Amino acid sequence: MISLTDIKKGLLVSLWFVFLTFPLMVIKINPIDKVILWRWSNMYWVAGGSFLCYLAMQIYKTRKLTRQEHIKQGLIKEKPKMQFKLLSDPKIYLPTLAVAGLFFLAFPLLFSTYQTNIMITALMYVVLGLGLNIVVGVAGLLDLGYVAFYAVGAYSYALLHLHFGLGFWEVLPIGGLLAASFGILLGFPVLRLRGDYLAIVTLGFGEIIRLILENWNEFSHGPSGISNIPRPGFFGIHLGLEQSITYLYYLMILMVIFTIFVVNRLQSSRIGRAWFALREDEIACQAMGIDKTKTKLTAFALGAFWAGMVGVIFAAKTTFVNPASFTFLESAIILCIVVLGGMGSIIGVIIAALILILLPEYLRAFSDYRMLVFGAVLVIMMVFRPQGIVANIRRTYTVQKND
Amino acid sequence: MEPLLNITGLTMNFGGIRALDNLDLRVREGQIVALIGPNGAGKTTFFNCLTGIYKPTSGDLLLTPPGKKTRRLNGLKPNKVTQQGLARTFQNIRLFPNMTVLENVMIGRHCRTRAKVLGALFRNAGTVQEEQEIVALSLMILENMGLADMVNEFAKNLPYGDQRRLEIGRALATDPLLLLLDEPAAGMNPQETSELEELITTIRDDGLSILLIEHDMKLVMNLSDYIFVLDYGKKIAEGTPEEIRNNPAVIKAYLGEDIEDA
Amino acid sequence: MDYFTELFFSGLTRGSIYALIALGYTMVYGIIGLINFAHGEIYMIGAFTALITSTILNIYGFPLPAVIILTVLASTIWAAAYGFTVEKLAYQPLRNAPRLSPLISAIGMSIFLQNYVLLAQTSDFLPFPALIPDFKFMEPYAGVIGTSDMLILVTTAVVMLLLTWLIKFTRTGKAMRATAQDQKMAMLVGINVDRVISITFIIGSALAAIGGLLIASHIGQINFYIGFIAGIKAFTAAVLGGIGSVPGAVLGSFILGLTESFATGYVSSDYEDVFAFSLLVLILIFRPSGLLGKASIEKV
Ligand SMILES: Nc1ncnc2c1ncn2[C@@H]1O[C@H](COP(=O)(O)OP(=O)(O)OP(=O)(O)O)[C@@H](O)[C@H]1O
Ligand SMILES: [Mg+2]
């Protein structure tokens, strides 16, 4: 499996990484007291780690190559993917779905309020992920300012409550619609741009909105934010903290189900097909009579809609909003969810959101490395598995032959 | 009678390069018209100008659907041109590789259907019926293309010749008046080419007009009613296959000056 | 008047730094058509390496000229090494992937490197030693332009000249231009495209490191996050000038630097970053080919 040259090359690679990381990983200085800290152990970690990574990659590559070779020669058949079987066989996926459904329904009864709170956050990211998935995963528009729409939702609840005393249920659709309108407003000029420019412009817009929230004190109360935002009411009954968290949890579950329903229907519709086609080839798409701008705009606005709604829920959950919650990193996390889950894949995005949000919460050791891992995930997925953990499945049709 | 497509004075500049130079061209209804010329003559550029993908520097593009008023295609966006009844294939196949064969054709129906977001959400009777019609029609087209066995394959997994035919099928799904084919026989073996010849004839017999770019002279001569020859962006000849075959300017453009000198 | 001159020179200084970073964006974009998101991070790593090297050398009591030379060397070498490695790991495997893939990979790389430095070093701002003493002969002008401003301007000018010479007149430069124009053709005529791309990353990264070093010693402190904003601004400059164009990047950088300097000086400093972002958005919307870039039509 591993040849001598592989090992030699691996050693060279590890040597290179030791060199590369030496100043930053090994040396640590304190410029004020003028002391140097030499952290030699880090060097051994880097050396060992990069060596093993290299070998693992080599093995992965050769295995992939031989597999392809065998498939070409017809020695082995291309296996239908395990996950496709899992997802298409009702005998397997129905019970799984039932168990998962029961688990999520019983969650607040089984676990503490603290845990429920974490799960609410994870579910919020599920919805955010599904929303961004429409834009990035399905329509192929790299939106790096998604968090701006989230902020629009959150601030619309905070401000509409503050100035007009509007409640959660009134603002929930308003927040979504406001975010969608912002999406259209922003989308109109920028959706003509090429993909990579679009990414930068949306990133710029996201930052502009955050900076405005931070500096425009009269409007947004600046960096200190707005507090005392009420939690959602339950038909006028006052809920205690614990009850209201449980309530919010079930609300989130409903929201997730609603999102899945809508996103699924959209994707398998005429418009959803146009989105997928747009992602695949814009020029061919136009030549087939699809209005590029309009189709993109719909995707953009619908994606923003979910972010706006979750923003309202976020404000209600934390009872407090400030600009610090809406940085670029937030957009990056949501993007990471979509990429890890698989562009366009609903199940994938749900699983990815749960993994990426819950894992750092439960593995404390992991939580420091959270953003590092998110960055690495983006790169690794693009290089090794661009289709994500659960590839998007195209709908199949049965053809009746009438001969 | 007005020709179906009437192009006058079409010119296209790229920076300093003049890729099309004051071109006049007509396609009459029910005709198969070929556009030939050496590599780099500007044939594909011509298609791109016609379909709104490039914005021509000057010139007039007029379409007269049978029994209807003449309309100008200049300045229309590509999707509007398709809606007016021009559908094309690409020289470098541009299918939607990660969508199924059937979905590729279904996309072609997009501009002839109307379901909106709300229809998608509520699946009202009209939307459902429209969707069923899209599927049925697309399946029929695939049957005619001989691709009925692979409706659920990803387009990228199809053999080359099938991809070319799928692209034609996708274009047909838009209900065009005029079908624009950019080197449909490129990369096909003789067997596939003769099947293609048959296919194109059938399409014409179904009432479509066809504008064909092709390097395979046998195919061109067999199929075309009329031929235009381009060289360096200029039209150097036009006529029936017979006339073109014996035109010295065409022979010169294809074989180069040296041969004549020798 | 004095205030104006002061703002003018501070704008030039800013512009020079942006130019050093913007060149990396523009060169990489010119060659592989990728917005190298991680470029700002390379600049930040250059600054960190410079800080670490100079501090160590100072502690061991090296004389000032040696400290300066070795610091410059170390920061450019390591930044170049990072640029090279990033390209090999995150972009090279994606040469033939859909256009979004390398972009997402670049964003991932950027986040990774930021947090790598954050974890390996610190999240605090670190003071950066003033490497350059105030020159005697500059004293009369001290009210207008400081020694380090002066040095930044001169260094930038020299670097630009070198780069122009390299691109215009050397074999490597020719290979780079050929690759930028048509990768396939370049490969056919025997140019080692992978090597050319690597060299481009190396040069771009080294330039960014020089920028990082200069700005760090000018401002006097750095942290892991400086690359993000600087990167976006330099990118703005590159787009403003016309991405892919080397003189464009320089021009765009000076325009951006001056506008920012005057805007913060005369209008308000709260919205400093908003200003740059808005400029970026406006150019991309109204003139995506930039001031010196050529509008090209995608070949179909
Ligand atoms: N987008 C563009 N930008 C600049 N030049 C272009 C562009 N598109 C085409 N050209 C130039 O226009 C000329 C004509 O090219 P075109 O592709 O139309 O030729 P063609 O007749 O289709 O050739 P082939 O038979 O090889 O397909 C060429 O010189 C080409 O380089
Ligand atoms: Mg052509």
Segment A177-189, tens digit of pLDDT: 999 999 998 888 8
Q: Is the pLDDT of residue B258 over 50?
A: no
Whether residues A69 and A117 share a domain: the answer is no
What total of structural domains would you count in chain A? Answer: 2
> What number of C-beta contacts closer than 8 Å exist between B and C?
8
Residue that the structure tokens 């009678």 belong to: B1
Residue that the structure tokens 């817009």 belong to: A205
Q: What is the mean pLDDT of residues C242-268?
A: 88
Instruction: Report pLDDT digits (tens) over A36-63.
Output: 889 999 999 999 999 999 999 888 888 8
> Does residue B82's CB lie within 6 angstroms of at least one atom of ligand 1?
no
Task: Determine which of A288-302, B73-87, C5-19 has the lowest per-residue pLDDT on average.
Answer: C5-19
Hey, which bits of chain B come out as E strands? 5-14, 17-27, 32-36, 58-63, 71-72, 86-88, 178-182, 209-213, 226-231, 234-239
Does A142 sit within 8 Å of C104, measured CB to CB? Answer: yes
- A271: contact with B, CB 8 A cutoff: yes
Burial class of residue A189 (count of CB atoms within 10 Å of its CB; 0-12, 13-18, 19+):
middle
Residue in chain C closest to B93 (alpha carbons) equals C300
Decide if A230 contacts A319 (C-beta within 8 A): yes
In a domain, residue A85? The reply is: no
In a domain, residue C5? The reply is: no
Longest dimension (CA), chain A: 89
* DSSP structure class, residue A32: T
Residue range of the domain that includes C170: 17-286
Q: Is the pLDDT of residue C210 over 50?
A: yes
- B44: contact with A, CB 8 A cutoff: no
In a domain, residue C145? The reply is: yes
pLDDT reported for residue A85: 63
Whether residues A149 and A69 share a domain: the answer is no
Q: What residues of chain B, 65 to 104, have a C-beta less than 8 Å from chain A?
A: 77-79, 82-83, 87-88, 90, 94-100, 102-103
Q: Which of A27, A50, A73 is the last residue of a domain?
A: A73
Q: Which of A46, A73, A100 is the last residue of a domain?
A: A73
Instruction: Report pLDDT digits (tens) over C111-149.
Output: 999 999 999 998 888 888 777 666 666 566 666 667 778
In the three-class reduction of DSSP (H, G, I as helix; E, B as strand; rest coil), residue B69 is classed as coil
Q: Is the pLDDT of residue A330 over 50?
A: yes
Whether residues A205 and A299 share a domain: the answer is yes
Whether residues A63 and A117 share a domain: the answer is no
- B99: contact with C, CB 8 A cutoff: no
Residues of C in contact with B180 (CB under 8 A): none
Length of chain A: 403
Q: Which of B14, B15, B53 shows the shortest C-beta gap to C300?
A: B53
Alpha helices in C131-170 (DSSP H): 147-169
> Does residue B13's CB lie within 6 angstroms of at least one atom of ligand 1?
no
pLDDT reported for residue A110: 85
Q: What is the mean pLDDT of residues C213-217?
A: 85
Q: Which ligand is nearest to the CA of B228?
A: 1
**For residues C127, C133, C135 and C140, what is the CA-based torsion angle, rounded to 10 degrees?**
40
Mean pLDDT of chain A: 87
Task: Determine which of A238-252, A371-385, B71-85, B193-207 has the lowest per-residue pLDDT on average.
Answer: A238-252
pLDDT reported for residue A403: 46
Does B96 sit within 8 Å of A262, measured CB to CB? Answer: no
Q: Are strands C126-127 and B86-88 parallel, antiparallel or unpaired?
A: unpaired
> Does residue B44's CB lie within 6 angstroms of at least one atom of ligand 1?
yes
**Within its chain, how far is the Cα of B211 from the centroid?**
6
Grade residue C266 by pLDDT with cuts at 50, 70 and 90. confident
> Does residue B92's CB lie within 6 angstroms of at least one atom of ligand 1?
no
Does C102 sit within 8 Å of A144, measured CB to CB? Answer: no
Whether residues A163 and A54 share a domain: the answer is no
Residues of C in contact with B44 (CB under 8 A): 300
Mean pLDDT of chain C: 87
Least Cα separation, residue A36 to chain C (angstroms) = 7
pLDDT reported for residue C140: 62
In a domain, residue C211? The reply is: yes
Least Cα separation, residue A295 to chain C (angstroms) = 19
Does A212 sit within 8 Å of C284, measured CB to CB? Answer: no
Whether residues A116 and A67 share a domain: the answer is no
- A399: contact with B, CB 8 A cutoff: yes
Residues of B in contact with A399 (CB under 8 A): 139, 148, 151
Q: Is the pLDDT of residue B262 over 50?
A: no
pLDDT reported for residue C84: 96
Whether residues A377 and A266 share a domain: the answer is yes
Indicate the pTM of the whole model.
Answer: 0.89
Residue range of the domain that includes A297: 111-384
In a domain, residue A60? The reply is: yes
Pocket probe mutation, ligand 1, options B13, B14, B234, max atoms within 8 Å of Cβ:
B14
Q: Which atom of ligand 1 is nearest to the CA of B42?
A: 18
Q: Which of A72-76, A352-356, A363-367 is most confident?
A: A352-356
- Any idea what the CATH number is for the domain that residue C29 is in? 1.10.3470
Residues of C in contact with B53 (CB under 8 A): 300
Exposure string for A247-270, b = 16+ CB within 10 A, e = fewer: bbbebbbebbeebbebbebbbebb
In a domain, residue C225? The reply is: yes
pLDDT reported for residue A268: 87
Q: Is the pLDDT of residue A255 over 60?
A: yes
Grade residue B141 by pLDDT with cuts at 50, 70 and 90. very high
Cα of B37 from ligand 2 centre, angstroms = 10
Does C300 sit within 8 Å of B48, measured CB to CB? Answer: yes
Does C294 sit within 8 Å of B48, measured CB to CB? Answer: no
Opening angle at CA A53, ends A47 and A56, nearest 5: 140
Within a 13 Å sphere around the CA of A401, how many CA atoms are in the beta-carbon half? Answer: 8
Hey, which bits of C102-229 come out as E strands? 126-127, 221-222
Instruction: Report pLDDT digits (tens) over C31-69.
Output: 888 889 999 999 999 999 999 999 899 888 889 889 989
- Any idea what the CATH number is for the domain that residue A176 is in? 1.10.3470
Whether residues A336 and A279 share a domain: the answer is yes
Whether residues A159 and A274 share a domain: the answer is yes
pLDDT reported for residue B18: 92
Does C101 sit within 8 Å of A386, measured CB to CB? Answer: yes
Does A23 sit within 8 Å of C78, measured CB to CB? Answer: yes
In a domain, residue A105? The reply is: no
Q: Which ligand is nearest to the CA of B54?
A: 1
Rounded Cα distance, B116 and C225, in Å: 44
In the three-class reduction of DSSP (H, G, I as helix; E, B as strand; rest coil), residue B175 is classed as coil
Whether residues A161 and A222 share a domain: the answer is yes
Burial class of residue B39 (count of CB atoms within 10 Å of its CB; 0-12, 13-18, 19+):
exposed
In a domain, residue C298? The reply is: no
- B46: contact with C, CB 8 A cutoff: no
pLDDT reported for residue A121: 92
Sign of CA dihedral B107, B113, B119, B125: negative
Q: Is the pLDDT of residue C274 over 60?
A: yes
pLDDT reported for residue B127: 87
Q: Is the pLDDT of residue B171 over 90?
A: yes
In the three-class reduction of DSSP (H, G, I as helix; E, B as strand; rest coil), residue A81 is classed as coil
Q: Is the pLDDT of residue A220 over 80?
A: yes
Q: Which ligand is nearest to the CA of C294?
A: 1
pLDDT reported for residue C297: 76
What count of other Cβ atoms lies within 10 Å of the Cβ of residue B186?
16
What total of structural domains would you count in chain C? Answer: 1
- A185: contact with C, CB 8 A cutoff: no
pLDDT reported for residue A354: 92
pLDDT reported for residue A236: 67
Q: Is the pLDDT of residue A105 over 90?
A: no
